[in-house]
Amino acid sequence: MITSNPFVELSAFIAPGVMQAYVVLMILLVIGGTLLDVKHKKSAQYFFEKGKSLKKLAKREVGSAEKMSLAVSTLANEVLASGEFENPDRRKSHLLMMYGFVTFVVTTAILIFGVEGETSGFVPLLWHLGALMVSVGGYWFWFKIRVDVRSEGHAWHDVHLSDLFIVSLLLTTTLALAWSLLGSMLIFALFIAAATTLFGTVYWSKLAHMFFKPAAAFQKKVAKADGSLDKLPELHELTDPLVKERYPDIPEYMGDNPPYMGLGIKREAPNHY
């Protein structure tokens, strides 16, 4: 039943303390992997140094209240609504995976740490719903958006290291649902293997980028507000003599009168191959 805690029956074979220790270990692996990723890519140093360099180009001071407003805007648009995705299908699949993943992870912790007490049937329902949301969004992304044999040569079975996050995530939620419905210990073992891969390979996967993207989006908003513009000119100013003086390589790459560059990411999908 999807309204019963699937970890209760498991506690007859595995002590609740062991399950709880596993959850704590996964949290530590995510934290450790993220810190290693930050150190390896020097992400924090990059944002700090870039912020200092942009501040020198700022035309106005952005106050604390305005920065708070920009932070809220970043949270609402780029984080909660995934506004950076122009492709509507990609955005929908991402939202399904994001909210499903958060729901699944939080309810997993609640169910495991509450395995010895009374757990509301609503929490197990959310656990199954979260896993289902991730699966629907993930398989939608994998088979409809990522697979592109016609224009880019990506077959569904063409898996690379960069796919480690999405593959381990899909295996985790799919096997979780299968284990809950079938009760097989073999499926449970595979579920744990997939989950361990998901949380234990943060250093090599895309999981850590969820912390960097909001920071980059916020910094971009601040740069626009203070006039530093991320060291880029306003598009409508490309022909301005002052802009050409500041960016002398513009004529070299775009001519004296920069042309209209087209729709970019909003262009027609490449389907004439």
On whether both 260 and 143 belong to a single domain, the answer is no
User: Do 184 and 70 have their domain in common?
Assistant: yes
Count: domains in the chain? 2
Same domain, 228 and 243: no
Confidence of residue 258 (pLDDT cuts 50, 70, 90): low
d(CA 215, CA 206): 15
User: Can you tell me whether residue 154 is helix, strand or coil?
Assistant: strand
Asked if residue 199 belongs to a domain, the reply is: yes
**Do 171 and 206 belong to one domain?**
yes
Q: Give the model confidence (pLDDT) of 199-249 as tens digits.
A: 999 888 777 777 777 877 888 888 888 877 776 666 556 667 777 777 777
Residue 71 domain-assigned (yes or no): yes
Write out the residue range of the structural domain in which residue 255 sits.
Answer: 237-272
Return the bridge partners of 148, or none.
154
How many helices and strands in the chain, by DSSP H and E? Answer: 11, 0
Report yes or no on 63 lying in a domain. yes
pTM: 0.79
d(CA 244, CA 240): 6
Examine the domain organization and report whether 91 and 160 are in the same domain. Answer: yes
Long-range contacts of 64-71 (CB under 8 A, 24+ apart): 66/225, 67/222, 70/218, 70/221, 70/222, 70/225, 71/218
One domain, residues 161 and 247: no
Q: What is the pLDDT of residue 60?
A: 84
The rounded distance, in Å, linking the Cα atoms of 123 and 40 is 38
Do residues 242 and 168 share a domain? no
- Domain match, 55 and 122 both: yes
- The answer as to whether 256 is a domain residue is yes
Considering the domain architecture, whether residues 248 and 205 belong to the same structural domain is answered as: no
